Amino acid sequence: MKYKVLIDPLAKQDMKEIFLYVVSNNNISSTDKLLDSIETTIVKFEQYP
């Protein structure tokens, strides 16, 4: 069974802030890896809430 995953607007804002923080303190490659990891985890909630 698949569940619908909704991302709270505050969580979206947090993600933007995390992105800006990491990109300013690291490089874009590590930032992309972090965001990919977060997105992968969120997608897993569709199957395993």
Residue 20 placed within a domain = yes
Report the number of distinct structural domains present in the chain: 1
| Interior/surface letters 16-48, b for 16+ CB within 10 angstroms, e for the rest | eeebeebeeeeeeeebeebeeeeeeeeeeeeee
In a domain, 2, yes or no: no
Whether residue 36 is contained in a domain is answered as yes
Q: What is the model's pLDDT at position 35? A: 84
pLDDT tens across 3-44, in order? 888 889 999 999 889 888 888 887 788 888 888 898 899 889
Range of the domain at 25: 9-44
pTM, whole model, 2 decimals? 0.65
With respect to residue 40, please indicate whether it lies within any of the assigned structural domains. Answer: yes
